[in-house]
Structure 1
Amino acid sequence: MVKFYTMEENKIVEVEKFVPNSLIKVIDPSADEIHMLSSLLQFDPDFIYDSLDDDERARIELDDDTVLIILKIPKKFNGNSKIPYRTVSMGVIIGKNYTIFSSKEPVDFIDYMIENNKFDINKKSRMIFQIFLLNAKVFLSYLKEVNKTISIIEEELHRSMKNKELEEMMYLEKSLVYFTTSLRSNEIMMEKLLRGNIIKIYEEDKDVLEDAIIENRQAIEVSNIYSDILAGMMDSYASVISNNLNIVMKILTVVTILIQVPTIITSFYGMNVKLPLQNNPIAYVHIIFWSIGTILLTLAWFKRKKWL
């Protein structure tokens, strides 16, 4: 899907075809659409193909007058995905009279900014740095969700004897690895933009980029903290789950022994031999009291040995 936008009366409006100084949004394009854009705007089609590859690291690439910026953005997965959060690639292609946002899936905060006229298409550097800043804030918001999920799982782990909670923590830890790796590559890319003369940076736009770098560093620190917490919790609660299981097994073993003792007594009266009180009409009452007595004695002995 390819959409063209331009500025009219300080508002972003969608147009049917390319006009100079356009913003072009490309979502999961077909080969024909990629060929059409690369031929029309005279840039390397691999720029778009690279931006659709989720394994690409954040980086900057130059080709004559065209600049490609690969940005790693967070993505929340619902439904059947075991890993709740991952990162995907988004490409920003900057030419003389156009800017292209290219990604495999729609980017919510980009759509929001366009729909609410938060961008000035004519100010390319400011628009791109706003995206960097928003992206870092989205990372931080998802990290807050991860922290809430960790707290919920922590409560469940106190009474758990299954591996479900540990598996959830393992997948969260994997999400944090994706976040940390992507945030670090984003930081390197942004610092390279700040130091170099890759794109023209105005003084007022430089502050936006510096804010984005600060937010990105904060997200890295938070991600590292949560990764350390998760690693420690997984080690601790693996022992807790094992201990809970041991307690259950101990209780079941004690119950089995308590039942076994009276079973031995009653089994004697199932044999075809002469036994004491066998002709007594209330012999079963004696057997019941003996059984209860042996259970209580055995229980008292367990208590004395501190096995219960």
Structure 2
Amino acid sequence: MNLLSIFKTIDGKMCKMPEMGPGCWINLTYPTEDELKLVMEKLKVEPSFLRAALDEEETSRIDTEDGQTLVIIDVPSVEKEDAVIYSTLPLGIILTEQNIVTICLKETPIIRDFEEGMVKTAKTSQKTSFILLVLLRVAGRYLQYLKQIDKISSYMERQLYQSQRNKELIQLLDLEKSLVYFSTSLKANEVTLEKILRGRIVTLYEEDQDLLEDVLTEVHQAIEMANIYSSILSGMMDAYASVISNNLNVIMKVLTSITIMITIPNIIFSFYGMNVGNLPFPTAWFPAVLSVGIVVIVGIILKRKDLF
């Protein structure tokens, strides 16, 4: 969905504006070429900055050129198809002399919270504070999704004990892949935050220091949670593989024991079915009784050997 929205904080409220002006925040979601050209012409935004955030492979970084600053941050994303799949995508934040521009390939609930005025302290005129509030919201979203992943993995674990289908196993693999994405993106975000902390590229004011420390704390917590959940999930997958292998061995032992027990009557009846004279007790009941007796004895022996 293509979307160009313009907002400005007026009397402490986030208001939608009809056109761009000083002190405005411009949000671009999967923009068209015309929308990109409009922003370039109106705000004189560096073209490479706009296109950098539209590259899905772009990693978190911070850059500055001609008085403009680009901050790319990896934000969490969730897709619901046959199963819940988590991933990350780049969100670009561009600071010009008078405006803030955000650009992303998909609509994200993080930006939607700002558009709907849910972040009360966000002011479009305070650019540094605005960036840090976005980063804090991103870190909070990571923590929220990580808790969801933990709940889903716990549910899948219970399902695996009840059934041994591939569906649950594939979902666990998707969750493990999601945790790898999260861990990698969070570490890249951490590096970007540390560069901001130095204050060489983005000007930090005294009131921004506490906010930046809160962001770093949230990111560090998210990194630790991602690592812990990844270790738990990896251990659970290994344990499940061992359980499957052990169950297969048990099934094979039982089938082998049954095969041995079934073979005994076949051997006895084969002897009595041949045209051979002088066999003991040639009556019909004797082979049946003999077969049952030997099968019972073999069954007891196998049971004592824990093979049946």
TM-score, normalised to structure 2, is 0.89
Match for 1:232: what amino acid? G
User: 1:299 Cα shift?
Assistant: 0.4
Match for 1:290: what amino acid? L
1:303 aligns with 2:306: no
Asked if structure 1 preserves the Cα contact closer than 8 Å seen for 2:254 and 2:307, the reply is no
Moved more, 264-273 or 219-228: 264-273
User: 1:303 Cα shift?
Assistant: 2.2
User: 1:48 Cα shift?
Assistant: 1.5
Unpaired stretches in structure 1, ≥5 consecutive residues: none
User: 1:68 Cα shift?
Assistant: 0.7
Q: 1:195-252: per-residue Cα shift (whole Å, max 9, x none)?
A: 1232332222221111011000011111111222223333333222111111111111
1:229 aligns with 2:232: yes
- CA distance, structure 2, for counterparts of residue 223 and residue 233 of structure 1: 15
Match for 2:292: what amino acid? I
- CA distance, structure 2, for counterparts of residue 258 and residue 240 of structure 1: 27
- CA distance, structure 1, for counterparts of residue 91 and residue 305 of structure 2: 66
Q: 1:247 to 1:306 in 2, by over 3 A?
A: closer
User: 1:288 Cα shift?
Assistant: 3.7
- CA distance, structure 1, for counterparts of residue 270 and residue 34 of structure 2: 85
User: 1:103 Cα shift?
Assistant: 0.2
Match for 1:92: what amino acid? I
Asked if structure 1 preserves the Cα contact closer than 8 Å seen for 2:153 and 2:172, the reply is yes
3-state secondary structure, aligned to 2:138: helix
Asked if structure 1 preserves the Cα contact closer than 8 Å seen for 2:272 and 2:287, the reply is no
- CA distance, structure 1, for counterparts of residue 215 and residue 280 of structure 2: 91
Other-structure match for 1:263: 266
User: 1:37 Cα shift?
Assistant: 0.8
Runs of 4+ aligned residues of structure 1 deviating over 6 Å after TM superposition are none
Q: 1:214 to 1:36 in 2, by over 3 A?
A: same
Other-structure match for 1:155: 158
1:93 aligns with 2:74: no
Q: 1:92-135: per-residue Cα shift (whole Å, max 9, x none)?
A: 01112211111000011221232135232222222211111111
TM-score, normalised to structure 1, is 0.89
Match for 1:235: what amino acid? D
- CA distance, structure 2, for counterparts of residue 244 and residue 87 of structure 1: 38
Q: 1:179-190 counterparts in 2 under 5 A?
A: 179-190=182-193
- CA distance, structure 1, for counterparts of residue 35 and residue 117 of structure 2: 27
Other-structure match for 1:207: 210
3-state secondary structure, aligned to 1:198: coil
Match for 1:71: what amino acid? I
- CA distance, structure 2, for counterparts of residue 235 and residue 124 of structure 1: 48
Q: 1:119-198 counterparts in 2 under 5 A?
A: 119-158=122-161, 164-198=167-201
Asked if structure 1 preserves the Cα contact closer than 8 Å seen for 2:53 and 2:90, the reply is yes
- CA distance, structure 1, for counterparts of residue 205 and residue 257 of structure 2: 77
3-state secondary structure, aligned to 1:253: helix
Match for 1:91: what amino acid? G
Q: 1:246-302: per-residue Cα shift (whole Å, max 9, x none)?
A: 111111111122122122233445445566665x5xx3x544433322221110111
Unpaired stretches in structure 2, ≥5 consecutive residues: none
3-state secondary structure, aligned to 1:77: strand
Asked if structure 1 preserves the Cα contact closer than 8 Å seen for 2:40 and 2:46, the reply is yes
- CA distance, structure 2, for counterparts of residue 233 and residue 201 of structure 1: 44
Coordinate RMSD, CA, aligned: 2.2
- CA distance, structure 1, for counterparts of residue 104 and residue 268 of structure 2: 77
Match of 1:32 among 6, 31, 34: 34
- CA distance, structure 2, for counterparts of residue 257 and residue 57 of structure 1: 62
Match for 1:77: what amino acid? E
3-state secondary structure, aligned to 1:295: helix
Match for 2:63: what amino acid? E
Other-structure match for 2:117: 116
User: 1:160 Cα shift?
Assistant: 5.6
